């Protein structure tokens, strides 16, 4: 009897909380903070530092969106999600934005009803092997034992690749990157496979990174990007154009250092429009005119975020590669702001 009564009380409490339920943008503004889903910890993309502050490339996207909407890059509640919980967390409204190196795939977009707002990192799956193994190509991996992180598109790509090349392998499914690293180093698997960026980050954490080599084959396309729920286009626009603003800012040379100076007015109409000096693009989305300025000031433009978190001068040491601006031969191409 007590049980049912208490449950009843819970429902009453839940009713009070559930009164809201309008558009995400209004929710976020009313709440005064953005709930952003990130990984439980992948150095360079999203991981808490020694003081428990989240930092990383994906975290930068969250902070930029928070800055654009609320004007405050610290107004973010980071919700660590696993491969298992991330989609539920987004679909059920626990988080407003999922920035957790998630691959844009057809079924996730169409079947699971999510909206990918763009690509913030073009990745691909690779293989990490010890040099001592004497392997120089993924084609020589027949019969190998391979450590995979579960809950990613990785295991699907792996199955496809080995099937296509008519090779055998033994998968060792592992929950977290940390454990995969241990098993790989102990020799419980010959190969560790995940996204190339993740391999670089993992290798960087080894005692002797030089003893291990990433094989040249990249076996899949992994466009990673932030995503929101289907059906709330206004909110999708906000996230999409914040990301575009960061990319465009790099193209036009707007950095966190000169954004103040440039917002006083320039002779480039495009920059003026982005920074809200000319026209009021922000009002069309229901944001302040200075939304993009705040987003860029939060952590810098795309290039700055990249260099600070995963670039060549960090332990992860990724080169821009496909993630360079289209003007430099990369794939980043922000649509025009007009």
Interface with other proteins in residues 24-83 (CB under 8 A): 27, 35, 40-41, 48, 52, 79-80, 82-83
Minimum Å gap between C-beta 139 and other proteins is 14
Using CB under 8 A as the binding rule, whether residue 185 contacts other proteins is answered as yes
Task: Name residues contacting other proteins, limited to 153-172 (CB under 8 A).
Answer: 155-156, 158-160, 162-163, 169-172
321 binds other proteins (CB under 8 A): no
**Residues whose CB is less than 8 angstroms from the CB of residue 338 and which lie 6 or more positions away in sequence, other chains included:** 270, 273
Instruction: Work out how close the CB of 44 gets to other proteins at its nearest, in angstroms, rounded to a whole number.
Output: 14
Tell me how far, at minimum, the Cβ of 299 lies from other proteins, in Å.
Answer: 21
**C-beta atoms surrounding 338 within 10 Å:** 9
Among 216, 231, 253, 329, binds other proteins (CB under 8 A): 231
Q: How far apart are the first and last CA of the chain?
A: 63
Q: If binding is defined by CB under 8 A, does position 144 make contact with other proteins?
A: yes
| Closer Cβ to other proteins, 8 or 335, answer by number | 8
Task: Region of 321 please: left (phi>0), alpha (psi -120 to 50) or beta.
Answer: left
Q: Which is nearer to other proteins, 154 or 290 (CB)?
A: 154
Give the DSSP letter string of 157-186: HHHHHHHHTT--EEEEEESSHHHHHHHHHH
Shortest Cβ 135–other proteins spacing (Å): 9
Helix axes 233-252, 24-31, angle to 10 degrees: 80
Q: How far is the CB of 275 from other proteins (least distance, A)?
A: 33
Q: Which of 276, 322, 128 is nearest to 331 (CA)?
A: 322
Pairing assessment for the beta strands 191-195 and 169-174 based on DSSP bridges: unpaired
What is residue 238's three-state secondary structure? helix
Decide if residue 335 touches other proteins (CB under 8 A): no
User: Among 25, 189, 254, 334, which residue sits at the site for other proteins (rule: CB under 8 A)?
Assistant: 189
96 binding other proteins? (CB under 8 A): no
Contact status: 234 vs other proteins (CB under 8 A): no
- For position 137 contacting other proteins by CB under 8 A, the verdict is no
- Strands 47-48, 125-130: pairing kind: unpaired
Closest contact distance (angstroms) between CB of 96 and other proteins is: 11
Does residue 106 touch other proteins according to CB under 8 A?
no
Buried-exposed string 3-37: b where 16+ CB fall within 10 A, e elsewhere = eeeeeeeeeeeeeeeeeeeeebbebbeeeebbbbb
């Amino acid at each position: 009897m007590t049980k049912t009564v208490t449950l009843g009380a819970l429902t009453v409490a839940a009713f009070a909380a559930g009164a809201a339920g309008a558009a995400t943008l209004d929710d976020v503004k009313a709440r005064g903070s953005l709930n952003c889903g990130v990984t439980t910890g992948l150095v360079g993309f999203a991981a808490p530092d020694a003081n428990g502050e989240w930092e990383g490339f994906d975290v930068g996207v969250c902070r930029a969106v928070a800055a654009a909407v609320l004007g405050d890059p610290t107004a973010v509640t980071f919700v660590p999600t696993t491969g298992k919980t991330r989609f539920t967390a987004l679909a059920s409204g626990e988080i407003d934005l999922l920035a957790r190196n998630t691959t844009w795939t057809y079924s996730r977009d169409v079947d699971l009803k999510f909206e990918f707002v763009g690509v913030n990192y073009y990745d691909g799956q690779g293989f990490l092997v010890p040099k001592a193994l004497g392997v120089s190509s993924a084609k020589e991996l027949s019969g190998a034992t391979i450590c995979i992180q579960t809950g990613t598109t990785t295991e699907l790509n792996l199955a496809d690749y080995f099937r296509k090349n008519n090779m055998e392998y033994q998968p060792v499914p592992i929950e977290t990157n940390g454990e995969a690293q241990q098993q790989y180093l102990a020799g419980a698997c010959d190969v560790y496979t995940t996204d190339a960026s993740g391999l670089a980050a993992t290798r960087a954490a080894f005692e002797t990174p030089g003893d291990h080599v990433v094989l040249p084959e990249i076996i899949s396309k992994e466009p990673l990007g932030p995503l929101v729920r289907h059906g709330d286009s206004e909110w999708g626009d906000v996230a999409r154009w914040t990301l575009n603003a960061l990319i465009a800012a790099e193209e036009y040379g707007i950095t966190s250092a000169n954004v103040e100076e440039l917002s006083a007015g320039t002779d480039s109409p495009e920059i003026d429009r982005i920074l809200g000096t000319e026209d009021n693009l922000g009002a069309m989305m229901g944001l302040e005119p200075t939304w993009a300025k705040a987003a860029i000031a939060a952590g810098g433009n795309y290039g700055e975020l990249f260099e600070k978190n995963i670039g060549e001068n960090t332990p992860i040491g990724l080169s821009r590669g496909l993630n360079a601006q289209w003007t430099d031969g990369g794939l980043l191409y922000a649509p025009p702001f007009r």
